[in-house]
Amino acid sequence: MLIESQTQPDNSSSSSSRSRLAGLPEAAVDEIFALNHAYATDTHPDKVSLGIGVYRTPDGKPWPLPSVQKVEEELLHENDPFRHEYLPIEGDQVFLDLARDLMFGFKHDKALETPAEKEAKRRIASVQTISGTGANHVGAVFLAQHLKPKHVWISSPSWPNHQTIWDLQGVPRKSYPYFDAATRSFDFEGTMRTLEAEAEEGDVIVLHACAHNPTGIDPTKEQWKAIADLCQRKGLFPFFDSAYQGFASGSVDEDAWAVRYFFNLEPRMEMCVAQSFSKNFGLYGQRVGAFHLVTNGETDQQLVAKNLCHIIRGEYSMAPRAGSTIVKRILGDEQLRAAWQRDLDVMSSRIKKMRRALYDELVRLKTPGNWEHIINQNGMFSYTGLTLRQVLALREQYHIYLLKSGRASISGLSDNNVAYVAKAIDDVVRTWGIIGIIVI
Ligand code: LMR
């Protein structure tokens, strides 16, 4: 009897309240991935995913890039016994050099390297990361520890993960007004006014290198110059997030223009770049990325790299090997690189074509409102201007999935579904009133 009573589960409240996890707070669900899951489990035959930013073919299918497939075949054939070995903590050095050269515009051929280029490369400490999120994270940890900024400035709106990444480091967050809903353009005046008045020396400012996520609107070159000047004058630390190099415009140089402009400024600025290879190589799940910390030349590059490695080792030891091996092969081989450029052309031009197709269809339907922003925006996303109510109606009635802010991933459109999507937008706009943009 005694034994029986001892084995009875104790359901008294005093026992259950003993859990030290009792006060666990609610954690925000990631909207982008939750939406992707909802789409995946939707069984409706006409469903359309305009949520997560992944490239799709004209048939709505994933597209392993032909240049990537070529390397995968080579690797399979080679059957290298070292392919599952550990990488160094900083990552694969050949990959890192190629990633850096792509970002900053250095010629990769060592024989062509000028003394100025050699000197410029000495300013950059690079480590391999778990794609763009990992690069943003490693950068945030490093800067929170060593720069100790009073604030991090994030555009309003921005990729929601920027907020999460910096909140996790406990750095107080402020926002600069990026989007002018009235003109549907970059709020250059508001950005400059806010930063001029409120940003403090040593603050970090997160900048989207190109194809701003979610608005698809980038500063002009003149505006970039003014932002760089402001960063220099006020001693702000620019933190570029580069997730779409070559994917946005088709040109790796054009999409890196802002980063290279800041990098080449005199007097030299300290800055950093989080570089993702998810979109431009279609290697989403492979997690290929790099983080580049740029010094003004006074701080020892090796010392910076050692500090970055210290963080990486304590957190996850090193980035994965398989995807970076593919990127390394492609960037390091002239023919494969040319094939990759053709892949970039295919992806960037299809997205532009789909923007045009959606716009033309809305015009043909005489959908109330002005839709020119769809063709004027750049990169993977369109900030459609659809309201929350319209977004929810699209999901519930038409099985078309986009973010609550009205952000639509244009690559989810195809010749097969663009008429259906335009008609659905036309319906919800006629039912719920003309578009207006809410910044979430
Ligand atoms: C997106 O914004 O949809 C993509 O960059 C995917 C992600 O990681 O959020």
Give the SS3 label for residue 87.
Answer: coil
Asked whether residue 299 is assigned to any structural domain, the reply reads yes
pTM score, two decimals?
Answer: 0.93
Rounded to whole angstroms, the Cα distance separating 226 from 228 reads: 5
Relative to beta strand 237-242, strand 381-383 is unpaired
**Neighbouring C-beta atoms of residue 93, cutoff 10 Å:** 13
Single-letter code of the amino acid located at 52: I
User: Can you say whether the dihedral through the CA atoms of 179, 180, 185, 189 is positive or negative?
Assistant: negative
Whether omega before 267 lies within 30 degrees of 0, making that bond cis, reads yes
Mean pLDDT (whole number) for 48-56: 94
Res 436: pLDDT: 54
Asked whether residue 34 is assigned to any structural domain, the reply reads no
Is there a catalytic annotation at residue 107? no
Query: 96 C-alpha vs ligand 1 centroid, how far in Å?
Result: 23
Q: Are 397 and 277 found together in one domain?
A: no
Report the residue count for the chain. Answer: 440
Residue 111 — very low, low, confident or very high, per pLDDT cuts 50/70/90? confident
Cα 383 from chain centroid (whole Å) = 16
Rounded to whole angstroms, the Cα distance separating 72 from 54 reads: 20
Pocket test for ligand 1, best of 49, 161, 164 (most atoms within 8 A of CB): 161
Q: What is the DSSP letter of 368?
A: S
pLDDT tens-digit map of 308-349: 999 999 999 999 999 999 999 999 999 999 999 999 999 999
Asked whether residue 9 is assigned to any structural domain, the reply reads no
Q: Are 182 and 291 found together in one domain?
A: yes
Residue ranges around ligand 1 (CB below 6 Å): 32, 52-53, 159, 161, 213
**Neighbouring C-beta atoms of residue 349, cutoff 10 Å:** 11
Question: What is the total count of domains within the chain?
Answer: 2
CATH number at residue 89: 3.40.640.10
Q: Are 262 and 403 found together in one domain?
A: no
Is there a catalytic annotation at residue 92? no
Q: Are 257 and 219 found together in one domain?
A: yes
Beta strands in 288-435 (DSSP E): 288-294, 381-383, 400-401, 407-409
Domain boundary among 338, 372, 401: 338
**Domain enclosing residue 386, as ranges:** 46-63+349-432
CATH number at residue 407: 3.90.1150.10
Residue 4 — very low, low, confident or very high, per pLDDT cuts 50/70/90? very low
